[in-house]
Amino acid sequence: MTIGIPKEIKNNENRVGLTPAGVAEMKKYNHVVYVQTNAGESSGFSDAEYEEAGATILVSIEETYAIAEMIIKVKEPIESEYNLIKKDQLLFTYFHFASSEPLTHAMMERGAVCLAYETVEKLDRSLPLLVPMSEVAGRMAIQQGAKYLEKPQKGKGILLGGVPGVPPAKVLVLGGGIVGTQAAKMAAGLGARVVIMDVSLQRLRHLSDIMPPNVITIMSNYYNIREAIAEADLIVGAVLIPGAKAPNLITRDMLKLMRPGTVVVDVAVDQGGCIETCKPTTHENPTYIIDDIVHYCVANMPGAVPYTSTLALTNATLPYALQLANKGWKKACLENDELKKGLNVANGKIVYKGVAEAWGLPFIEVNTIL
Ligand SMILES: NC(=O)c1ccc[n+]([C@@H]2O[C@H](COP(=O)([O-])OP(=O)(O)OC[C@H]3O[C@@H](n4cnc5c(N)ncnc54)[C@H](O)[C@@H]3O)[C@@H](O)[C@H]2O)c1
């Protein structure tokens, strides 16, 4: 198959859809890979490294789309890319169709086959191509939180791990899923006293078994949250209710229970945030202060560490990309239900129910197009 790797042009996107290691894997199966010049530059991969792995470098995004049967990307195509997409071209990338009606219509009109990372789903309902970014964001939440606890950043001026004779900081993690687990591990590793709250007793049992002794688990409810936020130095919001807006576990009036200089890192900001006063920020201007509480609410945290994020993402996407390249999308989806769940748009039709429902558009069963 002929594969194209365009340079991401969405604002602030520094990741790339395939690494030189991925090119080498594709070459093993005799696939032909074209990479747009400088596509990997912001992630730390040069054109020379891609060439060495067996790719051909193309000068423009137009050529890259024109030559490829399959495009592997990171972000959804933006408007200037719509017209570059050919009928029956396979696009393997994040789409998040339910948040953009124009994108949905554009992909239907172009006749593209859109396999969305975010809906590839395992039998246990986990989302293997979202997990790596949650892992990055969870670990980063503590790194950022520790920085903003410093006085010059308007934090309390407390060192996360303390020092001998001085107690460490208290970290509260709301939600013990992927983000919460990684955040708790990082905070515990730095020596903080960590509380994880979740509504799932089963999840709390598991966390209680695997976490080090400086992490305790507490059931998430209004009463317990009110008590815990008064003590916490750093609070990480990591709650997710699939398909719904995050619940406001900390409301505006609860900020007054917290001590000045407390830092809140609301990772769940992309789903509306679990702190009422959270609104999305950017890496250029990541924080703001309300009632002396430092809010960090960057909606695209992994974007700040593109080297790690690209490797983490492509580790997860490459095995699926190889199946698509080796078998073609129809056979690959017929033989792998995880991939089949990723199909959102094909032959000008919506084949993923949630997307059709989001825009009140017709939906057809995915099996009818395979
Ligand atoms: N800002 C970013 O850059 C970024 C990056 C990656 C992920 N995220 C977001 O982080 C959030 C968490 O993602 P995840 O992968 O960890 O999800 P997950 O599904 O693995 O975990 C969510 C957890 O929240 C728990 N939960 C639900 N309601 C709760 C409540 N009322 N109190 C406490 N816990 C509750 C669930 O039981 C679950 O364990 C999502 O909104 C995700 O989109 C943001």
CA–CA distance from 308 to each of 16, 139, 332 (Å)?
11, 11, 28
Q: Is the per-residue pLDDT at 243 higher than 80?
A: no
Q: Is the per-residue pLDDT at 99 higher than 90?
A: no
pLDDT tens by residue, 142-169: 999 999 999 999 999 999 999 999 999 9
**In which residue ranges of the chain is CATH 3.40.50.720 found?**
2-120+306-369, 131-304
The type of residue at 35 is: V
Q: Is the per-residue pLDDT at 244 higher than 80?
A: no
Provide the 8-state DSSP code for 40: T
CB of residue 299 inside a 6 A radius of ligand 1? yes
The type of residue at 124 is: D
CA of 342 to the centre of ligand 1 (A): 21
CATH number of the 2-120+306-369 domain: 3.40.50.720
CB of residue 225 inside a 6 A radius of ligand 1? no
Q: Is the per-residue pLDDT at 121 higher than 70?
A: yes
- Ligand 1, closest atom to CA 181? 16
Sign of torsion, CA 100 105 106 111?
Answer: positive
CB of residue 136 inside a 6 A radius of ligand 1? no
CA of 362 to the centre of ligand 1 (A): 30
Strand ranges for 141-244 from DSSP E: 170-174, 193-198, 215-219, 234-237
Q: How far from chain centre, in Å, is Cα 48? A: 28
CA of 348 to the centre of ligand 1 (A): 33
Out of 210, 211, 267, 301, mutate this one to test ligand 1's pocket (max ligand atoms within 8 Å of CB): namely 267
How many Cβ atoms are within 10 Å of 102's Cβ, its own excluded?
A: 9
Q: β-strand 70-72 against 2-5: which pairing, if any?
A: parallel
- Ligand 1, closest atom to CA 137? 5
Q: What's the confidence (pLDDT) of residue 12?
A: 82
pLDDT tens by residue, 176-194: 999 999 999 999 999 999 9
Q: Is the per-residue pLDDT at 276 higher than 80?
A: yes
- β-partners of residue 350 are 345, 363
Confidence at 246, pLDDT banded by 50, 70, 90: confident
Q: Is the per-residue pLDDT at 241 higher than 90?
A: no
Order of strands across the sheet that contains 343-346: 56-58, 32-36, 2-5, 70-72, 90-93, 113-116, 343-346, 349-350
Tokens of 157: 């001026």
CATH number of the 131-304 domain: 3.40.50.720
Q: Is the per-residue pLDDT at 124 higher than 70?
A: yes
Catalytic machinery residues = 96, 270
Distance between CA 366 and CA 221 in Å, rounded? Answer: 40
pLDDT tens by residue, 331-358: 999 999 999 999 999 999 999 999 999 8
Distance between CA 223 and CA 41 in Å, rounded? Answer: 49
234 with 263: CB under 8 angstroms? yes
Out of 126, 134, 172, 220, mutate this one to test ligand 1's pocket (max ligand atoms within 8 Å of CB): namely 134
Q: Is the per-residue pLDDT at 47 higher than 70?
A: yes
